[in-house]
Structure 1
């Protein structure tokens, strides 16, 4: 059972959405394999994504303790995966710097963000652990929102 979570922005309240293919496709995609064999023998392997001109990848382990953020970041030249490992967190995303376009998703599935997607993460539990994969050489750009976004748990 999923708890209701709200995103508060100034005086406005938005619901945090569950990640689904249709609602998330403008930002990236879910790491999964539709159509895999349910039965049979032997392992199955499928490449989910690749970049032809990539200088190599790096894998990081992020422990999210922040409960609020006042800026977003993006990486113009790199896709980036967010793979939840432990705890619960909210992933904020938008295509542009316009705060009214920010959407919030419960990070309950592994996802890949497209290049240049603005994003930020907060934990709704004491801490959340997230595996991140990105290009080895990443340019980081930050955007100060001018207000605070945070997640609030409701029982």
Structure 2
């Protein structure tokens, strides 16, 4: 069994930015929602999955952590701009237009030789949660956490 180490990764979200820099990305654990069994009843690439419960599977969430920055071209600023587009107008947001909530993207991981180890495609992506890190005077870096709701998440 070969051990795969990830030295670097990149995240691209169409309409938000390419090569976004994150401290960490927590990929979702996949769990099939079934009754009386442990496998899908049917499913094919590009089709709607069917389970024995006769209900649609829940969308997955991906948690991203980045360092806070005021630079207009930073990942932090680009993500906060997208967050505002995803918020309702009643909360001074962009009103959640289709373009903001139906983004597509890809996550790629690389080994120490710069070779791509794996990649995942995402569609129907939007920011569903934002959290700012602990404010402290100890000299630590301020982190921002964005949680993405992803309707479709598949190996590329």
**Which fold has the larger relative contact order, with Cα–Cα distance below 8 Å and residues 6 or more apart in sequence?**
1
Interval containing the TM-score (normalised by the shorter chain): under 0.3
Q: Normalising by the residue count of structure 1, what TM-score does the alignment of the two structures yield?
A: 0.25
Bigger radius of gyration among the two: 2
Which structure is higher in helix share? 2
Which structure is higher in strand share? 1
